[in-house]
Amino acid sequence: MWRRLPRADDGRVTEIITGPHMSLLEILALLGAVVLVVARWLPPAARPPVTIAAGSVFALSAIVLGVVGIRWQMLPVLAGAALALPFALSPLVRRRTGRPPARRARWWMALPGSLVCVGLTCTGPAAAWAFPVPVFPEPTGPFAVGTRVMQWTDPDRPETATPEPDDRRTVVVQLWYPAERSPAGTRRAQYLGRTEQEARTVADALASYTGLPAFLIDGVPRARTHAVPDAPVARDGGRFPVVLFSPGLGGVRTQNTAWAEELASNGYLVAGLDHPYDSAAVVLADGRTIDTEIASTGDDDEDDRRAVETTRIRAADLSFVLTQLGRLDRGELDGSLTGRLDTGRAAVTGHSLGGGAALQAARQDARFAAVIDLDGYPRDPDRAPFHQPVLALTQAIGPGTDERYLPRLTEVLKLSTATSYRLTIPGAAHLTFMDGPLYLPPVPSLVGSLGRTRSPRVVAATTLAFLDATLRQKPGDLASALSAHGDLSVHRPGDGR
């Protein structure tokens, strides 16, 4: 299945792939290339019409793809067709010009060339499957989802990453919220950025940060999500509990979009943060891009020290954003969410380093009522007790896991004066807890073995159960709901003290 959405920001038509990992045009080009190769092996009478039809389909598809943009996954298909085309068209040209047909190569001489051409064309769909344009799962809640991007500057905090004494800490925040249903065909939000250009800037920065060639994930900026930019806020639903999210080290505010949309469709407002000079790339409202300054020094002790400092800054960012959301609710900041945000029911969450920042923010800021740590190492140097319940989701602990991780996490969970939970999800990897499974190769060591569909569903189901129990006080057996998805450890107040 595929569908065509409205024009992208640069005026080009954007094709969104929603079923197979290739668009209709790409599938037509692929079929045309394959048939061009196979035509050589057909009976003589069938070769001319089949060759003409296949060549026409391939040529027209390739031309249109050249206009709307060719993905790198199609290059092997084009190469295979280019190799086969002279051999397929040569007999037709000779017949049209009246020249005698060339001597036909014996089958055992032609077979290797045909196999090479077929191999090249098959590489295309394999590459499209390994590095697809991400297709986001349909949110299952009763609300549609709206989104908007805010930029806030904290007048009370200097920006420590720059030498300018008057520079103040600025964060970019994306909100996902329950919205009214939009008409069919309404433009959906760009993934990774407000515009396609911003999305490409962020995608290139993420590739550079992780050491991947940028072309491998060039399909990611093409994706559209289910949220509608600036959609009207849902009339029903009362005041929405608030969930703040901090991404992994070098991560960006949109890295958990599938999760954020699912929560928003179930009546939560989710605020995802970009942390300038830490996130891979942060595009400000004036168009400036702030690239990450995070890099490994090769010294484990120094890297740990820097991670502690980065976590401290992120924790302060999270508290600042909660303050701003309160101002937004009170009407002190412009926005249609005035009177709709319940910041008295706020959870702080994060992935990886962001999970550590969430734990630290909760200890420092009693306004947060619950914490979700998505496979994050706690780095708070203060081991003081805190009052919020915690849900820590982890991948399976194995030989490659930092031996300090589980003891440190267990120690922190025991510091909570509320019942807390650690859920180890079988088949999960570190990137299972973000959007990575939707667009990275399904290699278990990289994204886990839960699959592209199940990964976001498991993360959403477990975190929703925890948020419903802690922020909405919904009745039910939370431990049973969580244990259905993995190996659960429950830490109750007083255990181990």
pLDDT tens, 341-394? 999 999 999 999 999 999 999 999 999 999 999 999 999 999 899 999 999 999
Task: Assign 3-state DSSP to the chain and report helix, strand, coil percentages, each to 5.
Answer: 45, 20, 40
Its domain, for residue 37, covers: 22-130
State which residues of the chain have pLDDT below 70.
1-20, 89-110, 495-497
Looking at the fold, whether 227 and 368 belong to one and the same domain comes out as yes
pLDDT for the residue 496: 54
Domain count, the chain: 2
Separation of alpha carbons 286 and 170, rounded Å: 13
Residue for token digits 């490659």?
Answer: 400
In a domain, 497, yes or no: no
In a domain, 55, yes or no: yes
Single residue among 103, 130, 157 that ends a domain in this structure: 130
Task: Summarize pLDDT for 428-460 with one digit per residue, the tens.
Answer: 999 999 999 999 999 999 999 999 999 999 999
pLDDT for the residue 13: 35
Looking at the fold, whether 310 and 407 belong to one and the same domain comes out as yes
pLDDT for the residue 105: 53
- What CATH number is attached to the domain comprising 457? 3.40.50.1820
In a domain, 305, yes or no: yes
Single residue among 130, 164, 199 that ends a domain in this structure: 130
pLDDT for the residue 213: 92
Q: What is the dihedral of CA 439, 444, 449, 455, to 10 degrees?
A: -40
Single residue among 104, 130, 156 that ends a domain in this structure: 130
Looking at the fold, whether 122 and 149 belong to one and the same domain comes out as no
Sign of CA pseudo-dihedral 227, 229, 233, 238:
positive
Looking at the fold, whether 320 and 185 belong to one and the same domain comes out as yes
295: burial class by Cβ within 10 Å (0-12, 13-18, 19+)? exposed
Looking at the fold, whether 122 and 267 belong to one and the same domain comes out as no
Give the E-state strand segments of 292-334 in sequence order: none
